[in-house]
Chains A and B, each alone.
Chain A
Amino acid sequence: MNRFGFLSRPKGQAIWVTFALLIMVCLLSAMSEPFATPANISNILRNFAFIAIVALGQMLVIVTGGIDLSVGSVMGLAGVTTAAIMSRGCSLGFGIAGGLGAALAFGWINGYVISRFKISSFIVTLGALSIGRSICMAVTQGRPVSEFGPDAELFFALGGSELLGIAMPVWILLGLALALSSTLRLSAWGKHVFAIGGNEHAAELTGVPVARVKISVYMIASLLAGIGGILLTSFLSSVTANLAEGYELRVIASAVIGGANLTGGEGGAYGAVIGALLIEVIRNGLLLLGVDPYWQGAFVGLFIVLAVLLQRVRGAKGGA
């Protein structure tokens, strides 16, 4: 057991997914010429980063035994808010503060309603999904925003630039994943997150501040969704009300494939990242192989079920 390291050790499921990913990459490299080119790899990495950042937060929520269906709407909300602020001539700082602030507010409301009124996270975040998307439409009035004011170029660099040949969102993802992984491992808060997922009643009885930890988890999930949404908007250099519509499913799929158990108590940062990468590699591979894009969802859905089946089989055999 990784007793004294500062990063959480990848759990069993995430290791299996890593193997599956490596096999998939080998297969696709052999079956499709354009797959293993630097341009395509770069594409894959950048596209998966947006989802993976949000999947980190979703993983946290799932570990506590909940689920956050509103992340797609929060991604859109953050993008739309930042765009609205910047298009009125405000600086980058104000724009991002506004976007992230809106995301955090949503997260706080989710967490508060769920823990104070003891309503299921599914229902509360479902409502938030609807409300968030509605706010996006109200703010944009159905029109795209492509003007980002005086700091536009700076803003576009966030999601569109590269550092050492790797897209900026990937670097941001790396930083966030390392920070989350070590925080989960090294802090009492991290232990409490897992305890709540393992046995919320026990955690409450032993003095863990359950409500506060839950609120913090939903706030982080929304904040990460906000970051993902702003980066996506920056890369697209324009935003519409339906930004990231439906992304919550890909985000949840990434976390679950990576080992986050929906009953709570199990999951990890590495898993969330590798799950998101696997899904993106599959999507990219299917496209390059000429598979009808309408069938993409079927393949992704199949992998989600296979991942949960694998988790079930491993659990029955007693782990690892």
Chain B
Amino acid sequence: MALLSLHKVSKRFGAVEALCDVDLELRAGEVLGLMGDNGAGKSTLIKLVSGNFAADSGEIRLDDEVVHFRRPVEARRRGVEVVYQDLALCDNLTAAANVYLGRELKRGVGPFKVLAYRAMYRRAAELFQALKSDVRETDLVGKMSGGQRQAVAIARTRLAAAKIVLMDEPCASISVRQVAEVLELIRTMRSHGQAVVLISHRMPDIFDVCDRIVVMRRGRKVADKPIAASSPEEVTGLITGAIAAA
């Protein structure tokens, strides 16, 4: 049974048809690569699934139950998390504070609840260790490198134990070593039964870690097949339009 399924989903912004009759299925423990040129509809699809806006027509189902997300927090409550391209981090807070932002741990009784710093620092340190990252939970995010900031953003999704993780160009501006770590992370998420949608322009990454690939062009899905049944050349052709569909 599919964890997430989209049926004939469309979205239009004024005169622009961002998504047109898109069908999609995502199963637990699956890594889906989402590729397409700029303006193909990838970001719109992500924003839709993560609850930023509603579709104009069509149906979205989570665990076979129809859902209508009006705000991102509703999607998050159902286990959908996003790792944004700009990482959505606060530079003036520590790594631990960023990981726990919006879901801080508290201790105390009744109305006298205070932040449980010790517990948050300890758990954040565990998360970073599991990510094999050198991030120190007490360091300010503003002083971190691109790869470290990526680790913090991903640690957030691990904390939330999300069922579906949508990653928007996670390897765009990090070092080679960090790319390998992020891909390893995605494999770990898969082994935990999480589903990952990976938007990326980096063909080697997609073919390295994805189980299936979906290509979008001008708001429509033009390919949806197992990665083993495709090739970088075919995908490139699908993106540019040299190949109509596959």
Give residues in A with beta carbon < 8 Å to B: 1, 3-4, 186-188, 191-192, 194-195, 197-199, 201-203, 205-208, 265-266, 318-319
Given A198-B92, A206-B88, A191 and B117 touching (CB < 8 A)? Answer: no
* Residues of chain A with a CB closer than 8 A to B106's CB: 188
Quick check: is B118 within 8 A (CB to CB) of the other chain? yes
Distance in angstroms between the alpha carbons of A67 and B89 in the assembled complex: 23
A-B contacts, 24 of them at CB < 8 A, read A3-B117, A187-B113, A187-B115, A188-B115, A191-B104, A194-B93, A195-B93, A198-B91, A198-B92, A199-B88, A199-B89, A199-B90, A202-B89, A202-B90, A203-B90, A203-B101, A205-B72, A206-B101, A207-B72, A207-B76, A207-B102, A207-B103, A208-B101, A318-B143
Chain A residues with CB under 8 Å of B72's CB are 205, 207
| Chain A residue at minimum C-beta to C-beta distance from B72 | A205
**Chain B neighbourhood of A186, CB < 8 A:** 114-115
Complex Cα gap A197–B91 (Å):
10
Give the chain B neighbours of A188 by CB distance below 8 A: 104, 106, 115
Instruction: Tell me the complex Cα distance, A202–B85, Å.
Output: 12
Q: Does B92 lie within 8 Å of A266, measured CB to CB?
A: yes
Name the B residues within 8 Å of A187 (CB-CB). Answer: 113-115
Residues A205 and B93 in contact, CB atoms below 8 Å apart: no
Complex CA gap A203/B90 in Å reads: 8
Report, nearest first, the 9 A-B pairs whose CB atoms are least far apart.
A198-B90, A207-B102, A265-B92, A198-B92, A206-B102, A202-B88, A186-B114, A188-B104, A206-B101
B124 to chain A, nearest CB (A): 13
Please pick, from B73, B117, B121, B138, the residue contacting A207 in the complex, using a CB distance under 8 A: B73
Q: Identify which of residues 63-91 in chain B touch chain A, using a CB-to-CB cut-off of 8 Å.
A: 72-73, 76, 82, 84, 88-91
CB-CB under 8 A from A202, the residues of chain B are: 88-90, 101
Known pairs A187-B114, A205-B84; A265 contacts B104 (CB<8 A): no
Q: Given A3-B121, A187-B115, A188-B104, check contact A205 B90 (CB 8 Å).
A: no
B197 to chain A, nearest CB (A): 17
Contacts A4-B118, A188-B104, A206-B101 supplied; 8 other A-B pairs, CB < 8 Å? A3-B117, A187-B113, A194-B93, A198-B91, A198-B92, A202-B90, A203-B101, A207-B72
Q: How far is the CB of B46 from chain A (nearest CB, A)?
A: 13
Pairwise interchain contact A194-B92, C-beta atoms closer than 8 A: yes
CB nearest neighbor in B for A196: B90
By a CB distance below 8 angstroms, the chain B residues around A192 are: 101
- Complex: chain A residue closest to B118, CB-CB: A4
Question: How far in angstroms is the closest Cβ of chain B from A193?
Answer: 11
Once bound together, how far apart are the Cα atoms of A202 and B92, in whole Å?
Answer: 12
Residues of A within 8 A of B103 (CB): 207
Kindly provide the distance from the CB of A169 to the nearest chain B CB, expressed in whole angstroms.
28
Min CB gap A215→B, angstroms: 18
Q: Does B215 contact A (CB under 8 A)?
A: no
Q: How far is the CB of A48 from chain B (nearest CB, A)?
A: 28
C-alpha spacing A68/B227, complex, angstroms:
56
> Given A1-B138, A202-B90, A207-B76, A195–B101 Cβ distance below 8 Å?
yes
- Residue B210 is within 8 A (CB to CB) of chain A in the complex: no
What residues on B are CB-neighbors of A201 within 8 Å? 88
Contacts of A194 in B (CB 8 A): 90, 92-93
* Bound form: Cα–Cα A310–B73 in Å: 40
Query: Are B91 and A265 touching (Cβ within 8 A)?
Result: yes
- Give the Cβ gap from B69 to chain A, nearest Cβ, in Å: 14
**Please, which residues of chain A bring their CB within 8 A of the CB of B18?**
none
> Shortest Cβ distance from B174 into chain A, in angstroms?
19
The residue on A at minimum CB distance from B97 is A191
In the assembled complex, the CB of B244 is this many whole angstroms from the nearest CB of chain A, namely 37
Q: Which residue of chain B has the shortest Cβ distance to A206 in the bound complex?
A: B102
Tell me, in angstroms, the Cα distance from A241 to B103 when the chains sit together: 46
Residue of B nearest to A265 (CB): B92
Query: Which of B89, B93, B102, B117 has the largest number of chain A CB atoms within 10 A?
Result: B102
Closest A residue to B104 using CB positions: A188
A185: nearest chain-B partner, CB-CB: B115
Please, how many angstroms separate the alpha-carbon atoms of A186 and B118 in the complex? 12
Interface string of B125-169 (1 = CB under 8 A from A): 000000000000010000100000000000010000000000000
Checking A4, A199, A206 against B91 with a beta-carbon cut-off of 8 angstroms, the contacting residue is A199
What's the nearest-Cβ distance from chain B to residue A210, in Å?
10
For A3, what are the chain B residues with a Cβ–Cβ distance below 8 Å?
Answer: 117, 121, 138
Complex interface: chain A residues within 8 A of B76 (CB): 207
CB–CB B102/A4 < 8 A? no
CB distance from A225 to the nearest CB of B (A): 26
- For residue B104, which residues in chain A have a CB less than 8 angstroms away from its CB? 188, 191
Name, among A192, A194, A205, the residue most crowded by chain B CB atoms within 10 Å (CB to CB). Answer: A205
